[in-house]
Amino acid sequence: MAEADDSASRIGYISHAIDKKDLKPGDHIFCNRLLSIYNHHGIYIGERDCEVIHFSADEKGLLQKKKGRQSNEIMTKVAMLAKKRDELPEDSAEATKIQLQIDKIHGHNRPVCIKSTTLDNFLHGSKVRLVSYGSSRIKKLLSFVVDAVHKVKAMPPSETVKLAQHFLKHPVEWGNYSLTGDVELNPGPMIDDKPNSHLFAKYLEPLNDWELFALCLPGITKTHIWLQVIPRASWRDVINALKQCKENELARTIEDKVTDPIDEVVTDNLKDVLKTHSHTLTRSISTDFSKTASALYAKGLIPETTKDQIFIPGISDFNKAAKLVTVIGHQLPSDNPEQYLIDVCHVLIDQKNPALTENAASILDQLGQSVPDSGTEAEHETEIQTKPVAEIVQDDSANRVGYFSNAIEKKDLKPGDHIYTHRTLFLHSHHGIYIGEPDCEVIHFSGDATGSLRNKDSSLCQVRKTTLGDFCDGNTLRLVAYNAYTSSNASHTVKAMPLSETVKVAKHFLNDPKKFGEYGMRNNNSETFSCFCKTGLMDIAAQLHPLSRNVLAEWLWAAPCTTYEEAMKNFIEKQNAKT
């Protein structure tokens, strides 16, 4: 007979602290964190190589590491790799190589999942405490730690261990991390998805006549293996084949397991898809409005009257882009709205603008469409052979800061990061761009190597390089986040340029150190310089005027640059406007 959980008898009324020697495999343990503002929980296993199993980003369960979602860039990249993988034979070396790439991306960018750790790492210097189950109503009423007492009875500890070890073997299966406690469960297979080998074998295990079933599948002969011959085949094909060979009950069972999407995507739903991308799409189009609008008109996707209306002088490109996105929504025809939106996305991708491509790829992904390759196959092969393409690393600063602290370790920095330190009892901050090279670790706008307020004389201040140690000057190193959910003194809702473009901008001014202008404590300081290097914008710095900073305007209207060239063009225009 399985041993019953006895956690209620091993804790007191006031404290849930427990000695390690009194723990049992299957115990639900926790420890206080951040001045007891929140707790971190796990299941004690007690094995040498697996003392605790928990849901966390690292071995210690630190709150600042708990970022559960992947960015649109990452999801788009994974989708494109998955498309290439699915077009190859499942057991081919190339398909295996692509799958390893996908696993590596998930491992780096989806850190929160079920992990094992040591008890010491789990506690991170705190006391180990025990959550009790099957407690009496009186004990729950009198307990000092009410949230750690449950009246419900727990499973036998051995069953708890089995359940925890199951999720340790399938660490992503539990779903996305959510600070509120809700778990965003991974969705099941859709009816138009390609079956993977595991579910295919599992769902069709009751099938008796495999040969008859296979011959009912599209494009199959006796010498073919279906999943390799037709890599895009879906669960719908499986269900139809089962029905043809009179396996109706099994067909209904599998049909219940997959979610059948709506057969016809109506215009209103597509408008909702467009609406969710309208803000980022507007910002992206505004970076090269004339070229994008002309390309849409050339393909017959916007009428001539609309083209004449939006090409009006005196109106900002951002407002013109907003009007264009609205027109696209109104132009969704009733006969085939999905194809119209797909055609628009293809035109946007053809502009070879990274931000536009990202937005269009995200829309295509929602529509279940693949991202088209640009150029002919021959041109593409020639380009690969003659010109190595460096991977564009997008800024992911929002995923590397915590909810309560922007502190970061040197090993976690990336070239192009916007860093800062607090100075003079937190009254002001000094900012710079991390470069990470031996002779140029940081580039900043300052009067000396440390960014001391005493040397902020305008005649001394210029763009200069320094070491990370001098930049910090004994203070905690911190990271400014971009593309964040909210704006604060250390975060911005606007999206930053790719990291390599930021490095180019910073080095440009290092080569001409007085070019950024005369230092001004209020409107042209180290933060102004760093924000410009990240976005090409000079009016989003928050320091010394947080009350006058228009956070809503930043979110709604700021149109950041996407390349070094755009940023420098914007800088020249600003300088010319001053003279």
Domain ranges of the chain: 1-68+112-187, 70-110, 197-257, 267-376, 401-578
Residue 74 token pair: 């990452």
Residue 66 makes CB contacts below 8 A (sequence gap 6+) with 56, 57, 112, 177, 179
DSSP designation for 60: S
What is the CA 161 to chain-centroid distance, rounded? 32
Closest C-alpha among 188, 51, 176, 50 to residue 113: 176
User: What is the pLDDT confidence band of residue 11, given thresholds at 50, 70 and 90?
Assistant: confident
> In the prediction, which pLDDT does 236 show?
77
> In the prediction, which pLDDT does 523 show?
81
pLDDT digit string (tens) for 13-49?
Answer: 667 889 889 999 999 998 887 656 678 899 999 998 8
Is the pLDDT confidence value at 376 over 50? no
Strands 129-130 and 113-117: unpaired
Of 185-189, 434-438, 470-474, least confident by mean pLDDT is 185-189
> In the prediction, which pLDDT does 71 show?
47
Strands 440-446 and 462-466: antiparallel
Residue 81 makes CB contacts below 8 A (sequence gap 6+) with 98, 101, 102, 105
Strands (E), 339-495: 418-423, 428-437, 440-446, 462-466, 478-479
Of 113-117, 252-256, 307-311, 466-470, least confident by mean pLDDT is 307-311
**Of 292 and 262, more confident:** 292
Distance CA 202, CA 256 (A): 14
Residue 179 makes CB contacts below 8 A (sequence gap 6+) with 66, 403
**Of 291 and 228, more confident:** 291
Residue 513 has a CB neighbour count (10 Å cut-off) of 14
Residue type, 368: G
Strands (E), 264-352: none
* Residue where the block lists tokens 């509120």: 180
Out of 156-160, 175-179, 233-237, 328-332, the most confident range is 156-160
Distance CA 413, CA 436 (A): 8
The DSSP bridge partners found for residue 72 are none
DSSP designation for 151: S
User: What is the pLDDT confidence band of residue 375, given thresholds at 50, 70 and 90?
Assistant: very low
Surface-to-core class of residue 174, CB atoms within 10 Å of its CB (0-12 exposed, 13-18 middle, 19+ buried): middle
Is the pLDDT confidence value at 186 over 60? no
Is the pLDDT confidence value at 403 over 80? no
pLDDT digit string (tens) for 234-287?
Answer: 777 778 777 877 778 888 877 776 654 443 334 456 777 777 777 788 888 888
Is the pLDDT confidence value at 105 over 80? no
The CA-based angle 216-222-225, given to 5 degrees, is 80
Of 175-179, 181-185, 341-345, 423-427, least confident by mean pLDDT is 181-185
User: What is the pLDDT confidence band of residue 310, given thresholds at 50, 70 and 90?
Assistant: low
Of 271-275, 412-416, 490-494, 546-550, least confident by mean pLDDT is 546-550
What is the CA 453 to chain-centroid distance, rounded? 37
CB 29 within 8 A of CB 85: no
pLDDT digit string (tens) for 551-573?
Answer: 554 554 557 888 898 899 888 88
Q: Half-sphere exposure of residue 4, counting CA atoms within 13 Å on the CB side? A: 6
Distance CA 61, CA 114 (A): 11
Closest C-alpha among 479, 503, 495 to residue 72: 495
Residue 465 makes CB contacts below 8 A (sequence gap 6+) with 435, 439, 440, 441, 442, 443, 510
The percent of the chain in helix, strand and coil, each rounded to the nearest 5, is 45, 15, 45
CB 277 within 8 A of CB 363: yes
3-class DSSP assignment, residue 284: helix
3-class DSSP assignment, residue 304: helix
User: What is the pLDDT confidence band of residue 201, given thresholds at 50, 70 and 90?
Assistant: low
> In the prediction, which pLDDT does 198 show?
57
